[in-house]
Structure 1
Amino acid sequence: MPVSSLASGDGPPSRSDAGALSGYHVLKILGYSRTKIVPNGKSIKSHPFRVGGVAWHVRYYPNGDTAEEADSISIHLVLADAVAEEVKAQVTIGLLDQDRNPVPFHMTTDVFKFYNKGIGWYLKFIKREVLEKSEYLRNDCFTVRFDLTVLKDVHKEETPFVTVPPPDMHRHFGDLLSSKEGVDVRFRVGAETFSAHRLVLAARSPVFKAELYGAMKESATSNIIPIDDMEAQVFSALLTFIYTDELPEVKEQEESAMAQHLLVAADRYFLERLKLICEEKLCKHIDRDSAATILALAKKHSCGVLKEACLEFIQSSVDQDSVMETGRVEYLISSRPSVLKELMSKVVPHWPFRSKSNI
């Protein structure tokens, strides 16, 4: 059977309140390329799992459930038990990355009613082309997580309601970027080339709008537009934010450097929300080694909160000598003398007293 659930993936159901039982299940699709022989409308069934006192299983349609969705992967969450009463559950289905973290723009949440064995919730999960071009398919495998909360009615009488799912526009635009469908502009950043959609870039950034449609468009009519003074990884993260309003995950030790580069890029393309996100992240990464550099960056790009956070850190630091060591002072003198002047005016009055023998 090419579909199997991870042995460690079944989360034990846990009571979240007086009226609900919650749990999760992780399903790993092994040998994805082999499952593609399953015809449209046919599925592979997973092993059953239990959440909320009810047995469930998943039906995986490698070539879609209907003829209209033959280019997509479909998933059904199905009751494996016969039940006396309908089961109402909040269900989240999400693709996981290689570190088993959820991929925000491939995640869907809704509340559904399940009436009987074999009756389930249908989802057009992802286009095969998008999955196959993504980093989430590795070694011919990909992973999906199911989070369920079975809702128990406290009152017998049920009030009709409409459940509005959370916004998922970011997921659709993320698919558009990763599939490259309809792209009409390309950028060269270092040795890499990126494809995008002019309208999306123009809608998100007034700078891109001017370059692609305004007075500056003549300079952007070539087949490939060069982007100078930016690393390919940074431009990739910038595009991800433009399309999804979210940033890709980075390793903790790389977060500060990426935030610094993205702050510069956000200021360059007038992406104010991204700039504030980077400013917030950098406020948490100020330390002895980075304080002077981040201070200069904050001053240059008019980040008032970040600038004050750096000055406060240096002023209150018990190790001011190391923060203000020669190399960093020379950097400020050569690059941002106004920053050095402001720094000295705030720090020097609070500097610990030194005897002449130490001067």
Structure 2
Amino acid sequence: MPSSPSDVLVTNAGRSSASTITTDMETGSHELTVSGYSGSIGLMGVGKAITSPAFSVGGHSWCILYYPDGGSEESTDWISVYLQLGNQVSDSNVLAQIRFSLLDQMGEPVPSYTVTSDKKDLSAITTHSWGWPKFIKRKELEESPHIEGDSFRISCHVTVFKIRVEETPVQFPATAPSTDLHRNLGDLLESKVGADVKLRVGQETFWAHRCVLAARSPVFKAELFGWMKEKKTAEVRIVDMEPRAFGAMLHFIYTDSLPEIDEGDRRVMAQHLLVMADRYRLERLKMICEDMLRNYIDTTTVATTLALAEQHGCRHLKERCLNFFRNPGNKMAVTATDGFEHLMSSFPSLVKDLLSKVAPLILELHRGRDSKLFLCTWK
């Protein structure tokens, strides 16, 4: 007997339970032969059935009701067929579906005379029988090749469905603990165990592991193992780097996170880290720094931040700065800052595009204030 289980897990207020829904299905059929067909016409009368012997499918008793004169006054020209359930069913989880077919001389169902019911709840069948009052017209049957020697056959196919719901033990999948890799690597950096490269930044020295640096940064990989590698000296010098920011970058390389940074230092630290992330091609760190700097854009910082974004290819940070500058209330205040003077000298074409719509105002502001520097951007 085929079945189709389905597991349901219910969780409520920290308590868990489980159940299994299983649908069992059993099929069977009964073939009824009507011999001496012509003699049965008019013999019983309308609404009178000839009952087949009982047969069993799905643990229930069934029989076919054959009405040669029709099952009602509306079907007197038809042959009616019904299936009758022989026992009471109280379980609403038991359903059945039936199919009647006229059989041809080879015993195969005739498609044009095959009918199938919906699935019915057996506990809800009040008359204990259901079928087709107009199964086939008597005239059509008598003129068809399916009746031979005053005899024809009907097949009734029954499918019984039983739905079972059972409680089942709760089985929880094994949950693996979260990875300790970043914490373990952080401990390795702090302990210096196995460190094989000394990095000199300004007056400070940092110990690290060549393999970790190479795995995280393609630039470190080339410097330590590739064609750019330095001779295996006791010390590698890192120039143009602020030691505290370099230490924060090392922490990120090992742990994929930044150390705690005081709020007052966050903007400056983010600027240093962005430069280093770009230099060592640490793309995730670069994106984190961009996001940090977006929170510190105001009239005093936007020009410096825009120059930094332009220099290091930070598209999203640059767009945020440009949007801030396009606000009419910010333009005049920004152009009066030293950062804007640096922006003009470093990226004149960017400033030219930026100020093309507000040139008269900016020229007026800078009249008498190093105007030669500003005007050179328009040549």
Give the TM-score normalised by structure 1: 0.53
Matched, 1:163 2:171: no
Alignment partners' CA distance in 1, 2:233 and 2:212: 19
CA contact (8 A) 1:211 1:220 kept: no
- Read off the aligned partner of 1:203 and give its amino acid letter: A
Q: CA contact under 8 A between 2:271 and 2:293: conserved in structure 1?
A: yes
Report the Cα offset of residue 262 of structure 1: 0.5
C-alpha displacement at 1:19, in angstroms?
2.5
The residue aligned with 1:248 is 259
Structure-2 change in CA distance of 1:221 and 1:336 (3 Å): farther
CA distance in 2, matches of 1:350, 1:213: 56
Counterpart residue type for residue 234 of structure 2: N
Say if 2:300 and 2:337, in contact at 8 Å, map to a contact too.
no
- Is 1:237 the equivalent of 2:270? no
1:19 corresponds to which letter in structure 2? A
Q: Is 1:203 matched with 2:250? A: no
After superposition, give the CA deviation of every residue in 1:323-350 in whole Å (9 maximum; x if it has no partner).
11152332112222233223223x6289
Aligned residues: 205
Q: Does 1:187 align with 2:199?
A: yes
Partner deviation per Cα, 1:94-143 (whole Å, 9 max, x = no partner): xxxxxxxxxxxxxxxxxxxxxxxxxxxxxxxxxxxxxxxxxxxxxxxxxx
**Which of these residues, 337, 346, 365, is aligned with residue 335 of structure 1?**
346
For 1:165 and 1:208, the matched residues in 2 are separated by 32
1:19 to 2:10 alignment:
no
| 2:235 partner amino acid | I
Partner Cα separation in structure 2 for residue 338 and residue 190 of structure 1: 35
Q: Match for 1:173: what amino acid?
A: L
- 1:282-319 deviation line (CA, Å, top 9, x unaligned): 11111111100000000000111100100101111513
List gaps (5 residues or longer) in structure 2: 1-10, 16-166, 366-379
Q: 1:337 to 1:246 in 2, by over 3 A?
A: same
Q: Normalised by the size of structure 2, how large is the TM-score? A: 0.50
Shift of 1:20: 5.1
Deviation at 1:182, TM superposition (A): 0.3
Q: Secondary structure at the match of 1:285?
A: coil
Deviation digits for residues 243-273 of structure 1 (CA, Å, limit 9, x no counterpart): 0110111111211111111010000001111
Pair 1:305-2:316 in alignment: yes
TM-superposed CA distance for 1:205, in Å, is 0.6
Partner of 1:348: 358
Which position in structure 1 is the counterpart of 2:294?
Answer: 283
Aligned-partner residue type, residue 348 of structure 1 = V
Q: What SS does structure 2 have at the residue aligned with 1:312?
A: helix
**Distance 1:258-1:169 versus aligned 2 partners, 3 A rule:** same
Equivalence map 1:134-173=2 (5 Å):
157-173=169-185
Q: Name the residue aligned to 1:293.
A: 304
Distance in 2 between residues matched to 1:225 and 1:200, nearest whole Å: 16
Q: SS at the partner of 1:250? A: coil
